[in-house]
């Protein structure tokens, strides 16, 4: 059973920008794309070890929503968490939903 935590209002997330939330001991990067979808990933860049992915560059690659790390520019899928430059590397992704205008994330 998933436990959902309200993080922020949907309108508080700016399109194509990231935001960070601390849920328990987990730093979560939240993203809203221009098409209105929301995504949640871990905030830690696996290459540098820095908690900076929420400050990354949001975009797309072959139609897939992505974030590029601000440290070394590796690109990660917001859908699967896979590094598109190194498919053996992943960042965690978390279930996310919008309920009554509030963004909710489930961190197991």
8-22 pLDDT, tens digit per residue, is: 999 999 999 999 999
Domain count, the chain: 1
- Tell me if 97 sits within 8 A of 7, measured CB to CB: no
CATH number at residue 77: 2.102.10.10
**Alpha helix stretches (DSSP H) within the chain:** none
**pLDDT (0 to 100) of residue 74:** 97
> Residue 66's pLDDT is what?
98
Beta strand ranges found along 1-108 (DSSP E)? 5-9, 17-23, 26-32, 38-42, 57-61, 64-68, 75-77, 93-94, 96-99, 102-105
Q: Between β-strands 64-68 and 93-94, what pairing exists: parallel, antiparallel or unpaired?
A: unpaired
Give pTM, 2 decimals.
Answer: 0.94
Rounded to the nearest 10°, the torsion over CA 91, 44, 106, 55 is: -100
- The helix/strand/coil state of 11 is helix
Determine how many CB atoms are found less than 10 A away from the CB of residue 71: 15
Tell me which residues of the chain have a pLDDT lower than 50: none
What range defines the domain where residue 91 resides? 5-105
């Amino acid at each position: 059973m998933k436990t959902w935590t309200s993080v922020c209002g949907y309108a508080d997330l700016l399109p194509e920008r990231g935001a960070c939330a601390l849920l328990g001991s987990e730093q979560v990067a939240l993203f809203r794309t221009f098409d209105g979808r929301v995504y949640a990933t871990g905030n830690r860049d696996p290459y540098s070890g820095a908690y900076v992915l929420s400050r990354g560059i949001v975009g797309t690659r072959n139609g897939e929503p992505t974030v590029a790390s601000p440290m070394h520019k590796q690109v990660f899928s917001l859908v699967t968490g896979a590094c598109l430059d190194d498919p053996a590397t992943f960042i965690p992704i978390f279930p996310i939903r919008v309920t009554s205008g509030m963004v909710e994330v489930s961190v197991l």
